[in-house]
Structure 1
């Protein structure tokens, strides 16, 4: 009998993580084109960290930060793709009852909602810290959901078999995420959350801890899904594993940036944007019924 995993839905059901068939597709090969950017971005961040001067010596010619550009790019490449992931996950969960899919959808919803709110809010006077706080905290919440879903998938978590319970749980989960993110937004705007970024000083230890934890958890979840991907030779899992890895690298770039808009900052942002594209490819594969 072939390998099975109860947390992975049946192949005919729309969703991200199809259940592997008894016989693995012998013709499946990972896309090297998709994998190459991961080490390339790590290398670019390393090189820039070596050659760029310190923050005090960094000239204006090495900074590019037009108003609203960051918000537009994050909306297109992170928020929209995350909302698509959340929708497909919700639809799949109501059909299969896989708790893993509900967690993946909750992660995407948290990441997408805080990104779109935080990046736009940061453009308003006096709201830079609030915007950064919202985005970074949302990333941490998303990373926790991702690593939990990866862990449950690896341990054959059971599925909810009662359709009525599925609807209630999905509503509770998604409304809980949105309510929590709304509370985070209001608390950040009112200054109730300790600062993540101080003008003229830079990022605070709290932000370093939050972003570092997020990057580490995204990396761990990437490894978990990567192991499943190569065990089951799943195209969907492959792109999801790469998306999580690119997101982790993008977050790590924050530690090495000299100033907003410097080459390291943009390298990290582009890594996250590419991660968003990979999430979209995974969703497209799920919709088309690929494995």
Structure 2
């Protein structure tokens, strides 16, 4: 969005479907100080948050967990934004003011709905300007996501800038066709690529290849995606858990969109993340002198299963 800021707080919306790599990209750019003095708002659909622990480079950070800010979590999000506006106007020292806000949306958020909400608010529309909507696109899984999830397409349509991740895992021909598909969906957006947050060069991203043939879908074509919590206990059996997770992804990989959480193991605190059936290499996080809230709690995001079913399945494997 190209608009004069006129002294208002500058808000960047960072969107993208579940598991696309939003936090990895943002973490890199916070360390690079790309946003200057910045207040980061992290929105997670799951009640047990993970991503906020990875964004310590932010000057200030607010976590909104358990609801999506474009719909059911809207009131909490508005309260935070209004509070930031009040804080900024009350600071006597201009050098201490935060001029930039980055909202890392949940993977289930529609950036266009967030923009519309701000523009319709009588106070925020005068105090905050959305300067850019950045949408991260998972090059490995984007075709499947666009074929099955209308929300994925809505996120892409809302973008001013599209950033492809996992391009090294995608076949070159598929990558070229993905670029053509993104051009068709969001002709006004710029396109670039990143690996672990670092920018990459792309050869002819807006190529003349044929776009993927995407089926007609609507919001009513599939059941809602929900976030379930799985408590692994104080001393989880890592071996039993990994066996259970492998079996779960094999049996229900088409229903499970995302798994993430921190598990305390003999090797340390491991950040575990999956996108559909693909399990990312666990990342060892810094040790904490005191127990960290949310450790050993896994968020399983998808459709067609309940929290009770997940718990019963895990208990069967770990018994």
> TM bucket by the smaller chain?
under 0.3
Higher relative contact order structure (alpha carbons within 8 Å, sequence separation ≥ 6): 1
Report the structure, 1 or 2, having the larger helix content: 1
TM superposition score normalised by structure 2: 0.22
With normalisation by structure 1, the TM-score equals: 0.23
